[in-house]
Structures are given as structure tokens and as C-alpha cells.
Structure 1
Amino acid sequence: MSFSFFKPSRPKTLQEVGKAVKDSLMALDNKTVVEAMEEVEKNLLAVRCMLCGDGEVEPNLDRVSQLVLEVCKEDVLVLMIHNSLIWDGKKDLVHCWSMLLKQKVDSKYCSVEYIENHFELLDFLVVYYDNKEIALNCGLTLRECIKFPTLAKYILESASFELFFKFVELPNFDAACDAFSTLKDLLTKHGTVVAEFLTAHYDEFFYLYENLLTSPNYVTRRQSLKLLSEFLLEAPNSHIMKHYVLEVRYLKVMMTLLKDSSKKIQISAFHIFKVFVANPNKPPDIKVILAKANERLVELLSNLSVGKGAEGEQFEEEKELIIS
């Protein structure tokens, strides 16, 4: 009597795992094939176990490296992005995508290099941000990419970057907030990359950004003003800040925000407005505007306070200096 049917199935080779993931993702083009979805789940679970271990056994680094190479060879990253639109288990795809990006093979991020050769994937993710069904997963995936300077640089310089200024005001609140989180990462994660971008695209960028600062939406005004303070005050952007505080149009924006009904917006505006005033090289037209509005500005600032404590004391010192 033979008991051969009790023998465990032969473990798949890494080449077979890569091909199996590819085949199951390709089968998702037919939304009615439930079996294909189950296959994707099973294959992605296998990938996750190889990348992270199963809780009992640590991942084998050599096998992980080989798996990453197979995934790139089989164009699995392309399929993961395109099929995230039609598969219900999108979070599993995002999780695997994140882990694959972080894996090094011979000191190189092979998955990142793959995306550098397929930049259209990043455009695809940005464009589909306004699809509320997948917006949050697009955001998660993009933010994983933005951790790498070359990928962040591409998004900043791509035509699709301008879409973020639309997406941060999407009617769907969750999608809008997520888009702003991605925009924030783009402008704060890599100082040198951002400084180069702002230098090359100064006029176009700040024209678009002014629309956020003057938005009728309170959340947009508050978030964009806070973010402006963060990236303008970064050391690599010091020359951008010096340029910004020479511009009359942006002084007027800050003066308007100092009168905002929100105290938090007023205080954030003050931290940029003070640079206009403290600038020792103020151009004549800036001096004229500050002189004409002197009494009104002094009254506004005198009534501005952040409360007690060390932060409050520092704010009062800065405020008195600017008033004087």
C-alpha cells in the first residue's frame, strides 16, 4: 500500500514564486475570477514570509536578494501597481511593495532602480489620486517611493506634480488630507533635492502655492502655511527664503493671513511675516507698504499671543522685536 499522497508538495523555487505572482496578478484583469484573487493572496503571503520571516524563522538574506531580482525580472512591480485598481486586497499589495523597495541586493536598491527605469509608474499613482476608492493606497505607495531621493526628484519635476495642488482640496476629506501628507513629504524629506527644484521652478511653484495660502478652505490655509514655514526655514532653502521675502505679493499674503479669523493661522503667518520685517535688505516697495500699514500692524501684533510658558516668552520677545 502506498502512502505517497501524504508527501508534502515540493517547495517552489524563487523563479517559480516570481512567475506565480506575475501570473496570478495578470489573471486579475478578469474581475469575475475569484480563484485569481485567492491565488494572488496566497502568492503575496509567500512573498511576505520570504521577506520578513514567518515569526519563527528569520528570512534568509540570500533568498530575499534572489526573490527581489526575480520580482524585477518578471515585471511584478508594474503589475502590482496596475492591479491595485481592481483588487480588493490593495493593502496587501502596498505592504509587499513597501518591503520590496527596502531590500538591498549587493548594496543596491534593485526595486528602486527598476522604478527609475519605469518612471511612468509614479505618474500613474499620482494621476489616480483623485479616485477615492484607491486614493489612500496610492498615497501610501507614493510615500514609500518618496523616501528615495531619485524618485522624489522625479515626482517634483514631473508634469503630474501640479496635480497635488488640486488634490489637497478634493471634496473627499480623507483623500485631501492624504494628498497633503504626500505633498509635505515631497517638500521636506530631501533638503538638497527640494532646494534644487525650488531654485529651478521658483515662479511656477510659488504661484501655485499662493493659491493654497489664499484658499477659502480653512484646513488648506492652515496646513499650507505651516508647511511653508517648515520647508522655507530649512537650511538648504535659505536662498529661497531670501528671495521670497523680497516679493511684495507674498508680503501682502502674509499681512492678510495675520488678519485671519483663526488665531493659529495668525501665529503661523507671524513666523514668516517677521522675516520680511527683520530682513536688513528690504527693497523700497516693501518698506513703503510696512510704513503705510504701520499702525494697523502694530495693533494686530500687540493683540497676538500664544499663551504662557517658554514658548510664550520666546514669542513675546520676537513680537516686541518686530514691533520695534
Structure 2
Amino acid sequence: MSFSFFKQLKPKTAAELVRQARDSLLSLDTKTTVADVRLLEKALEEAEKNIKAMKDMLLGDSDTEPSLENVAEVTMEVCKLDILELFVHKLAALGWEARKDAVHVWGAVLRQQLPAASAGGGGGGGGQCGLEYLENHGELLDSLISCYENKEIALNCGNMLRECARYPSLVKYMLESASFDLFFKFVQMPNFDIASDAFATFKELLTRHNAIVVAYLTSHYSEFFASFDKLLESDNYVTRRQSLKLLSDILLERSNSTIMLMYISDARNLRMMMNLIKDPSKNIQSSAFHVFKVFVANPNKAPQIVNILSKNRDKLLRFLDNFHLDKEDEQFEEEKELLVKEIEGLQSPPRNR
């Protein structure tokens, strides 16, 4: 393990700083022997100092604004020297503050739009080299998703993933990746903070870029909703409530109209909502109502949907008559009145002979 970088003087340029950061990160070898502990501690100290210096160059500090020239130079060197990859693989070895600084550097590099001369190195077109780097190293996104299994760095990785969710190309990769299925497990983890963070990322991926989400849900409709149903049926109250709210957001998004029509034509989905509006929790009932109303209000109901509503006509009317929110809501009352009229107008299905 080489520690020659310890002898280097304070970096004179942004490029030198990033190179020293790379060297110090590469020296964080968790497999060192006991005899190397002192050297490892020194490497960690150097790495953390360099990451903070990079953050200050990119974002400024309490005393100084960042120099545009330094920002561009740090960004280019971070991309050139694989610092983003090192952040993912070495994050767990860093201390608490250094992880936070690394997250800030990650976001700043991703967002940075380089001027034409800087990006091209000779007058070429500008661009976001951090974004391009991750587009070419999608496996790093898979690694970040898997980090939810490590409670020490899960929340840091969540912040990094949500930075990535700003960009349609990265969202497309994550939705299409086998790693995306891990979210159905992570959002139900026993650690509340990690489960909540994972759900925040999950929601961001499914709501931020409409065109990408429509394409994903269209091509993965069956497998996605088969997994999503398990969240709606979870024994965990928070999981059920969050999932119902997310489902409502997805179905009522105008660009998802095709997905909504597929969903509200499935009798199994209707039965699930009819069970959820009877949940002991008023919050669950209210969230389920907002999905249930779409089935009833649909002017072109599928025959199996009409059949279920008709068979349960009297029970539904009794339920709606007694169904009230804890606080007055004029829109809710209007919607409920419309549903009552729609259900009252349903004909009882013919009996099979």
C-alpha cells in the first residue's frame, strides 16, 4: 500500500487536489493488518480533508464564493480520475462528516454544466461530464441501490440516488435494472429511517419523469403491480399508507392515463380497494377512497367491474353513507355524492340459472 501522497505539499491547483483525493481514497484499504492501522488512520484523515476541500472548491464556504475556473477544473478531474466510482466503493470507509461532503461533491459534479472550451479541452461542446460518466457506468447506480442494506451509509446513498433521479437517462437505467426490484424489499425494512428514505427514492423514480415512467410501466405492467400489490397488503401501516398515496399519484397523473385504464379494468384491483376502504385507519380509508373513486367514476367500466359494483351495491351505499373524514372537506363530500349517484344507477346483475 503506497502512502507517498502524504509527503505532498498543499495542492496548488484544483487538478492537484483531485489527484491527491484519488490517491488518498485508493489508500483506504479495509484489509490492512493491525500494523497498518496508524497508516490507515492517516489515509482516512487525508481523504476526508481532500473531500472537504473539493466540496469547498465546488460550492464555496462561509467566506468565499466558488471560482468558476476551479469548479470546472475540479469537475473535469473528478470525471477523468473516476472519483465518482471511488466515492461509491469507499463511502463506508469514510467518517460521518466526510460522507456528507462526498454527497455534496457528487451532486455538484452531476449538476455542473461545463463551458464549451472546458468540456472539449479545445473548444468542443460543453456538457455534464458527471452525468455522462454515470450514463457509462450504470453499475454504480446498482451499487448505490444495494447500499440500502448497509445501515451505516444507506441514507447517504439515498441522497446520491435522488441526485441521480434528476436525470431521465439515469432514471431509465434504474427502472430497467434488476436492482430496482430491491426497492420492494427496502421500503419494508424494519429500520424506519432507512425504509422511509428508500420509499422517498422509490417514489422519486416513479413520479419525476413522466415519459420514462409511462414507458417502464407499460412494458413491465404485470410484474410491477404484482410486486406493488404486496406493499398494499403489507402488515406495516406506514407501508400501506405510503403505497396507497403513491398509487393514487401514479394513476391520477394525466400522462399515465393508459396505465390507469389498465389498472381500473382489473377486478382484483377493485376488490383490493374495497377491502382497503374498510381499513380501521381513517388515513388508509381516505387514501383508498381516492383510488376507489376512479373505478366508480370511469364512464366505460369493464363488465367485470360493473358486475362487482352491482353485486355489492347495497353494501357500498351503506358504507358511503357512514363514511366521513375527521375534518370537513367540501371536495370529498362532492366526490362521495357523485359516487353514490353512480352506484345507485347501477343495475343489479342477472342471476345465473
- Confirm or deny a common fold (TM above 0.5): yes
Contact 2:11 2:17 (C-alpha < 8 Å) held by counterparts: no
Deviations 1:216-255 (A, max 9, x none): 1111110100111112111110111111110101011101
Give SS of 1:85's match. helix
Give the root-mean-square deviation of aligned CA atoms.
1.5
The residue aligned with 1:68 is 75
The residue aligned with 1:153 is 172
TM-score normalised over the length of structure 2:
0.86
Q: In the alignment, which of 314, 321, 324 is matched to residue 338 of structure 2?
A: 321
How far did residue 101 of structure 1 move?
Answer: 1.3
1:44 aligns with 2:51: yes
CA distance in structure 1 between the aligned counterparts of 2:240 and 2:70, rounded to whole angstroms: 49
Contact 2:55 2:102 (C-alpha < 8 Å) held by counterparts: no
The residue aligned with 1:235 is 254
CA distance in structure 2 between the aligned counterparts of 1:15 and 1:93, rounded to whole angstroms: 17
The residue aligned with 2:185 is 166
The residue aligned with 1:57 is 64
1:104 aligns with 2:104: no
Q: Greater shift after overlay, 51-60 or 287-296?
A: 51-60
Contact 1:155 1:161 (C-alpha < 8 Å) held by counterparts: yes
TM-score normalised over the length of structure 1:
0.93
Q: Greater shift after overlay, 100-109 or 136-145?
A: 100-109
Q: In the alignment, which of 286, 290, 305 is matched to residue 267 of structure 1?
A: 286
Give SS of 2:92's match. coil
What does 1:5-16 align with in structure 2 at a 5 Å threshold?
11-16=11-16
The residue aligned with 1:27 is 27
The residue aligned with 2:101 is 92
CA distance in structure 1 between the aligned counterparts of 2:172 and 2:28, rounded to whole angstroms: 32
Gaps of 5+ in 2: 1-8, 116-125, 342-353
What does 1:286-297 align with in structure 2 at a 5 Å threshold?
286-297=305-316
How far did residue 296 of structure 1 move?
Answer: 1.2
Which amino acid is 1:317 matched to? E
CA distance in structure 1 between the aligned counterparts of 2:327 and 2:56, rounded to whole angstroms: 52
CA distance in structure 1 between the aligned counterparts of 2:324 and 2:192, rounded to whole angstroms: 30
What does 1:121-160 align with in structure 2 at a 5 Å threshold?
121-160=140-179
Q: Greater shift after overlay, 294-303 or 204-213?
A: 294-303
Give SS of 1:84's match. helix
Contact 2:55 2:101 (C-alpha < 8 Å) held by counterparts: no
What does 1:160-199 align with in structure 2 at a 5 Å threshold?
160-199=179-218
Give SS of 1:238's match. helix
Which amino acid is 1:265 matched to? I
Give SS of 2:24's match. helix
Contact 1:130 1:170 (C-alpha < 8 Å) held by counterparts: no
CA distance in structure 2 between the aligned counterparts of 1:178 and 1:54, rounded to whole angstroms: 28
How far did residue 135 of structure 1 move?
Answer: 1.3
Give SS of 2:299's match. coil
How far did residue 158 of structure 1 move?
Answer: 0.4
CA distance in structure 1 between the aligned counterparts of 2:41 and 2:62, rounded to whole angstroms: 29
CA distance in structure 1 between the aligned counterparts of 2:28 and 2:303, rounded to whole angstroms: 64
How far did residue 14 of structure 1 move?
Answer: 2.7
Contact 1:17 1:43 (C-alpha < 8 Å) held by counterparts: yes
Contact 2:147 2:154 (C-alpha < 8 Å) held by counterparts: yes
Give SS of 1:147's match. coil
Deviations 1:69-127 (A, max 9, x none): 11111111100110002222322221221222111113421101101111000000111
CA distance in structure 1 between the aligned counterparts of 2:17 and 2:93, rounded to whole angstroms: 22
Contact 2:58 2:71 (C-alpha < 8 Å) held by counterparts: yes
Give SS of 2:94's match. coil
Q: Greater shift after overlay, 254-263 or 294-303?
A: 294-303
Gaps of 5+ in 1: 1-8
Give SS of 2:324's match. coil
Contact 2:145 2:179 (C-alpha < 8 Å) held by counterparts: yes
Contact 2:58 2:66 (C-alpha < 8 Å) held by counterparts: yes
CA distance in structure 2 between the aligned counterparts of 1:10 and 1:19, rounded to whole angstroms: 12
Q: Give the % identical residues.
A: 54
Contact 1:267 1:304 (C-alpha < 8 Å) held by counterparts: no
Contact 1:165 1:208 (C-alpha < 8 Å) held by counterparts: yes
Cα distance change of structure 1 residues 10 and 86 upon mapping to structure 2, 3 Å threshold: closer
Q: In the alignment, which of 77, 89, 101 is matched to residue 82 of structure 1?
A: 89
Contact 1:258 1:300 (C-alpha < 8 Å) held by counterparts: no
The residue aligned with 1:4 is none
